[in-house]
Amino acid sequence: MEGNYERILEKIAKSTDLGKEEIEKRIAEKKEKLSGFISEEGAAQIVASELGISFENERLKINEFLPGMRRVNVVGQVFNLSPVRTFTTKKGEESKVVNFWIGDDSANIRVVLWDINHIALIETGKIKEGVVVEISNATMREGELHLGNFSDIKPSSEILEKVVTEKVFREKILMDFKKGENTSTRAFIVQAFEPKFFYVCPECRKKVNKEGEVFICATHQKVVPEKRALITLVIDDGTNSIRAVLFHEALKSLGLTEIEDSEKLSLQKEAILGKEMIFSGNVRQNDFFNNLEFVVDSVKDVDIDEVINSLEK
């Protein structure tokens, strides 16, 4: 899938008479002028702005969204609708929030509603899973689409075909990782730490709390839990390094199968050090360390033929 940089180039080319070489030249000059303290994507957005090109107030496909974009207009089909959650604000007032995903034929994105009038559409069943909605004046925030008081959402009569519901990962180098993005990257494993264990509910797979001798799930109450593991790695692609967290399901793909046997696991961890693999997951903020970390959904070996074909393109 094309990254943000390529989409900005395409937008500039369509909106001006400039050729690709001239556009890239201006981007390189802008990046050099800022002493390299900006990514190509950031420099491209500045060049677009200087040329009077706006990415806002027009209907977009989901894969055309850019970080920080405001006044986003889009049509998508609702899926993975979460329950409405009530919380207390810092002012002591009660408020609500709900999130769900929308997809079109290009990609999908998580949507967060904060306005009680918007949330009422879900509570009354006017917006539910499978319904196509029209969203306007929304804001991109940390890889999500947020709707506030000045946004709008309503059911649409439009019919969408081939809606993308599986996660979409954009290929990026570590240096360009941004919080909230679903990203895929090729990197080397440079450190592997000891596993940490936790317990989950066998029904909903959510973490359970131990109370005395029993385990309690917030939804299913007293349960016989399943033991799970996570392992933290440090991966590096030459542009940067990042902590990568892999949960139970992804460990086998990594080659770590002897989680309960410390001696065998030690040998397996040693075997993967220095190995280059492709990691796909979500970038999030680790509040304890105050830096970005990569929560990995899947891992796979590097396919040399695939890499060569990609470079040739």
Residue 259 CB-half CA count within 13 A: 19
Same domain, 232 and 242: yes
Q: What was the pLDDT predicted at 64?
A: 79
- Give DSSP secondary structure letters for 76-128: EEEESPPPPEEEE-TTS-EEEEEEEEEE-SS-EEEEEE--HHHHHHHHTTSS-
Same domain, 282 and 164: no
Q: Which two structure tokens, joined as six digits, stand for 108?
A: 């999908």
The residue with greater pLDDT, 296 or 59, is 296
pLDDT digits (tens, 9 = 90+) for 33-84: 877 667 777 788 788 888 887 766 678 888 878 777 888 999 999 999 988 9
Same domain, 200 and 304: yes
Domain harbouring 140, CATH code: 2.40.50.140
| CA distance to 100, 174, 276, 279, 300, per residue, from 308 (Å) | 38, 20, 15, 18, 17
pLDDT digits (tens, 9 = 90+) for 274-291: 999 999 998 988 888 788
| CA distance to 47, 120, 182, per residue, from 3 (Å) | 17, 36, 12
Same domain, 87 and 199: no
Q: What is the pTM of this model?
A: 0.65
Q: How confident is the model at residue 4 (pLDDT cuts 50, 70, 90)?
A: low
Rounded CA separation 74/87 (Å): 28
- CA nearest to 43, candidates 54, 63, 28: 28
Residue 90 main-chain phi, psi, to 5 deg: -65, -25
Q: Is residue 7 over pLDDT 80?
A: no
Helix axes 40-50, 20-33, angle to 10 degrees: 110
Rounded CA separation 269/230 (Å): 13
Same domain, 130 and 176: no
Q: Which two structure tokens, joined as six digits, stand for 287?
A: 């509040």
Q: What was the pLDDT predicted at 129?
A: 94
Same domain, 215 and 154: no
Q: How confident is the model at residue 310 (pLDDT cuts 50, 70, 90)?
A: low
Same domain, 60 and 182: no
Same domain, 18 and 151: no
The one-letter amino acid at 282: N
Same domain, 44 and 139: no
Last residue within a domain, chosen from 53, 74, 90 = 53
- Are residues 74 and 135 in contact, defined by beta-carbon separation less than 8 angstroms? yes
- Are residues 96 and 86 in contact, defined by beta-carbon separation less than 8 angstroms? yes
Using a pLDDT cut of 70, give the percent of the chain over it: 94
- Are residues 156 and 75 in contact, defined by beta-carbon separation less than 8 angstroms? yes
Same domain, 77 and 181: no
Last residue within a domain, chosen from 138, 168, 198 = 168
Radius of gyration of the chain (CA): 22
**63-67, 113-117, 143-147, 249-253: segment of lowest average pLDDT:** 63-67
Q: What was the pLDDT predicted at 92?
A: 82
pLDDT digits (tens, 9 = 90+) for 183-207: 999 999 999 999 999 998 888 778 8
Last residue within a domain, chosen from 18, 36, 53 = 53
Helix (H, G, I), strand (E, B) or coil at 237: coil
- Conformation bin of residue 154: beta by default, left when phi > 0, alpha when psi is -120 to 50: beta
Same domain, 294 and 223: yes
Residue that the structure tokens 């903020």 belong to:
285
| Domain enclosing residue 202, as ranges | 170-312
Measured in Å, how far apart are the chain's first and last C-alpha atoms? 12
Number of separate domains in the chain: 3
List for the chain the helix, strand, coil content (%; round to 5).
Answer: 25, 35, 40
Same domain, 85 and 157: yes
